[in-house]
Structure 1
Amino acid sequence: MASFVASKSKNLEGSIKVPGDKSISHRSIMLGSIANGETRISGFLQGEDSLATLNAFKEMGVNIKRSGSNVIINGVGMHGLKEPLKPLDLGNSGTSIRLMAGLLSAQSFNTELTGDDSLSKRPMARVIEPLTQMGAKITGPDSKPPLSIIGGQKLSSLTYTLPVASAQIKSCLLLAGLYAEGETCIIENAVTRDHTERMLKGFGYKVNSVNGMVSLSGQGELKACNIEVPSDISSSAFFMVAASIAENADITLQAVNINPTRTGVIDILRLMGANINLQNEREEAGELVADIRVCSANLKGIEIPHSLVPLAIDEFPVIFIAASCAKGVTVLTGARELRVKESDRIQVMADGLTSLGIDNIVLEDGIEITGGQFKRQDSIIKSHHDHRISMAFAVASVRSNFEINIDDVDNVKTSFPNFVELANQIGMNINEVN
């Protein structure tokens, strides 16, 4: 297992482009595969999670050719997928397994969805229960992977209120709804990322989104299109925080996805006093994009608004690092969802912060962090196989007067394969040690 050894950086500068958005990369493969015609994708994320989705659809008979970040899909139409010869291994990807559970529940053949040890611990009842209400036959031990899906079921439409703010559940049910008779309607009590709705429209499928309700009628068709994947804001967040806490920083992140359902990290950092400016705002392939300039700032602790929690759910590990370097106390509540990610991100981050001398109080649905100076730790930070934990504590090194050691960083490749290269390019000091 590889480790990070990260040390202090005083000056961060430069302009970089982080890899493509993971959420959009996943969805482009799924929808391109069941569309009619040839879909061309540029900027596809070459991380292990996205490649797991790509390989799964190749296993189901879809002709997909990839050259680096460029992908060509010869779509097989809504009913052209074929039964895979073996279980589909989705690695560490929660997005893949939850969205594909919806899509595959409507196919004529049986499938089994499996993954690594981390994925096998993640809760799937949240998709199994509503899919079962639609007529799907899907099971898993203790409602966890591996998931067995019995094909040949006739799905009926569903009106469903999301019990938690989750784009994965919403997207899962919308993909199942493509095959259901009648109109499937998802009701949200909080805004979640809307990449599935936007991309379905890009493929020519009618989707209605009004006042927290998303609906579509089943049994239509998708028409192939070209997709340019913007840079991932979740990956960009690590550099936003690094520049915000550095002694002297001025960096620009190029062509980042600023979809309004994803910009919670920018809003939270700005509330903390971060110096973040959006430049050259534009629309590409139905998504809002901008260059993000970030300079050093004196951050202050805040109470994070509940409305921003679902809009920054993946970025909280590195936001906790920002809070550790802020003056005063930062309070997060309403984020119970963090406990069922690749790790229990509340507890794992709290343990790591404690080992770095940062006072914190773990809450059932969040954390209180008192900003201060990092103190030399006696032990290695444990990532618990979670890529965002690994990268977050690497960012902490920007403000550390000693080396920070982080174990088991192999999973960084799932979402951000060139993280170390780009970090060092702007002036960070991270070494990956095998």
Structure 2
Amino acid sequence: MKTLINKQGALKGTIEVPGDKSISHRSIMLGAISKGETNVYNFLQSEDSFRTIKAFQEMDVQIEKKDHAIRILGKGVQHFTPPKNELDMGNSGTTVRLLSGILSTLPFESKLVGDDSLSRRPMNRVIDPLADMGALIDSSNGTLPMNIKGKKLNPITYKLPVDSAQVKSAILFAGLLTEGNTTVIEPNITRDHTERMLPIFGASIQRKGNNITIEGLQDLKGSNVYVPGDISSASFWLAGATITPGSEVTIQNVGLNPTRTGFIDVLKRMGANIETEITSYEGDEPIGHIHVRYTESLVPIKIDEHEIAKFIDEVPLLALVATQVNGSMTINHIEELRHKESDRINTTVNTLKSFGAKIKEINDGIVVEGGHPLNGADIKAFGDHRIAMMAAIASLITRTPVTIKDSDCIKVSYPNFFDDLTSILK
């Protein structure tokens, strides 16, 4: 689909964004391996999250939509059956990596496949620690397709070589289904939705400093989960309102997990006018409102390596915001972005260059020379939903229209993005 966006004015109003993608995936997985009924409210209705549901349905887990909730009738992993078909992950990296931890412990074989984009993404980062536990995973070049022959595993202590909540969660899921204690050591704190959600299902998990330990073979019980709004989706409106004159937006009922609010922290240090308010908790997950207003004078700042994991998905938006500062800003320690749906360092730079930004790519990051006006352009998002949405937000300040040639990719995470844009564009 090709989408033409014309500059029309400021962002004004109140909005709620779709349910958090990371929490939606995990709620299905934990509900499926638990015993009893689980109801998931405000589940993200997107292509990626539906991949997780379909994978478990292939293993005979009863999952259905009922009364505005996703209902899972869990019987425990002992009642999973071998999938009759290949498990198609589509574009969902979260599904394939977390599911690998579960499948590696089950007494049958499965084959995981994905679309062209996902099939280029590295899987050795999850294969290696699972193999250390004894998993039998066959991948000819460290990418999909991937064959898993499940078996009884051994607990391990594993230090993450890269900051990855997906790899951490895959190991914790495998450890949960393995006798003994499994420990993950993370050099920098990554998003911790798995650790916060496990107690909702009755599991015990311990964190001491940067060490996270899960005891294996715990009995999980079905529960009810409310999924807060996705702060990564909210971040598009945070960026848009910050850089678009006259804007003032309130985003309600959004997750404010401190491992996910790095983008807010960075924008505030740049001078952005953003306020947050925690109004409730779902288990250990804080939920609240974010209020953001246009900021005329933003300043470049230095970003430390330990901060990156808290806003890695928002780096393209940060680069866009940096085009509006007076001065130069460097965003480095982001080499992980080369292994997303696209090489997100390269595609961010190329997209913003198309708009006339003064920006360049370095080995592990991006350098932006701010203060230059942006012009519209015809751009290709390279099948990357975050690049497509970043380009749409850029159109709010470009002097001519923006055309996004492959905007369909947005459906994997934020299907009603353009409807929400229209609702607050005044």
Partner of 1:357: 356
- RMSD (CA atoms): 1.2
The CA deviation at 1:174 is 0.4
Stretches of structure 1 that go unaligned for 5 or more consecutive residues are 429-434
Q: Please, which of 283, 286, 289 is the counterpart of residue 287 of structure 2?
A: 289
Q: Does 1:253 align with 2:263?
A: no
Q: Against the structure 1 CA distance between its residues 42 and 83, is the aligned structure 2 distance closer, same or farther, given a 3 Å change threshold? A: same
Partner of 2:24: 25
User: CA contact under 8 A between 1:42 and 1:229: conserved in structure 2?
Assistant: yes
Take 1:375 and 1:19, find their aligned partners in 2: how far apart are those partners?
29
Partner of 2:407: 409
Deviations 1:363-383 (A, max 9, x none): 111111111334435x52121
Partner of 1:214: 212
Take 2:124 and 2:132, find their aligned partners in 1: how far apart are those partners?
12
Partner of 2:73: 74
Take 1:422 and 1:65, find their aligned partners in 2: how far apart are those partners?
27
User: CA contact under 8 A between 1:9 and 1:397: conserved in structure 2?
Assistant: no
Bigger shift: 186-195 or 419-428?
Answer: 419-428
User: CA contact under 8 A between 1:192 and 1:311: conserved in structure 2?
Assistant: yes
> SS state of the match for residue 398, structure 1?
coil
Take 2:110 and 2:403, find their aligned partners in 1: how far apart are those partners?
41
> SS state of the match for residue 389, structure 1?
helix
Take 1:166 and 1:103, find their aligned partners in 2: how far apart are those partners?
17
Q: Does 1:88 align with 2:87?
A: yes
Bigger shift: 57-66 or 387-396?
Answer: 57-66
Q: Give runs of aligned pairs for residues 125-144 of structure 1, distance below 5 A.
A: 125-144=124-143
Partner of 1:432: none
Take 2:215 and 2:277, find their aligned partners in 1: how far apart are those partners?
38
Q: Does 1:183 align with 2:187?
A: no
User: CA contact under 8 A between 2:277 and 2:290: conserved in structure 1?
Assistant: yes
Take 1:402 and 1:373, find their aligned partners in 2: how far apart are those partners?
15
Q: Against the structure 1 CA distance between its residues 28 and 411, is the aligned structure 2 distance closer, same or farther, given a 3 Å change threshold? A: same
Partner of 1:307: 306
Q: Give runs of aligned pairs for residues 48-197 of structure 1, distance below 5 A.
A: 48-67=47-66, 70-151=69-150, 153-197=151-195
> SS state of the match for residue 330, structure 2?
strand
The letter for the 2-side match of 1:251 is V
Moved over 3 A (4+): 373-377
Q: Against the structure 1 CA distance between its residues 3 and 285, is the aligned structure 2 distance closer, same or farther, given a 3 Å change threshold? A: farther
Q: Give runs of aligned pairs for residues 348-427 of structure 1, distance below 5 A.
A: 348-376=347-375, 380-427=378-425
User: CA contact under 8 A between 1:34 and 1:80: conserved in structure 2?
Assistant: no
User: CA contact under 8 A between 2:374 and 2:397: conserved in structure 1?
Assistant: no
Bigger shift: 61-70 or 158-167?
Answer: 61-70
User: CA contact under 8 A between 1:201 and 1:207: conserved in structure 2?
Assistant: yes
> SS state of the match for residue 108, structure 1?
coil
> SS state of the match for residue 79, structure 2?
coil
Partner of 1:332: 331
> SS state of the match for residue 11, structure 1?
coil
User: CA contact under 8 A between 1:304 and 1:330: conserved in structure 2?
Assistant: no
User: CA contact under 8 A between 1:33 and 1:62: conserved in structure 2?
Assistant: yes
User: CA contact under 8 A between 1:98 and 1:172: conserved in structure 2?
Assistant: yes
The letter for the 2-side match of 1:43 is N
Take 2:380 and 2:140, find their aligned partners in 1: how far apart are those partners?
28
Partner of 2:262: 264
Q: Against the structure 1 CA distance between its residues 346 and 69, is the aligned structure 2 distance closer, same or farther, given a 3 Å change threshold? A: farther
The CA deviation at 1:361 is 2.1
Deviations 1:380-424 (A, max 9, x none): 212110000000010001111100111211110000000000111
Take 2:378 and 2:206, find their aligned partners in 1: how far apart are those partners?
49
Deviations 1:326-384 (A, max 9, x none): 2211211111101100000000110111111111121111111111334435x521211
Take 1:167 and 1:247, find their aligned partners in 2: how far apart are those partners?
36
The CA deviation at 1:5 is 1.4
| Matched pairs, number | 425
Take 1:270 and 1:281, find their aligned partners in 2: how far apart are those partners?
21
Q: Does 1:42 align with 2:24?
A: no
- TM-score w.r.t. structure 1 length? 0.96
Take 2:67 and 2:142, find their aligned partners in 1: how far apart are those partners?
36
Partner of 1:233: 231
The letter for the 2-side match of 1:410 is D
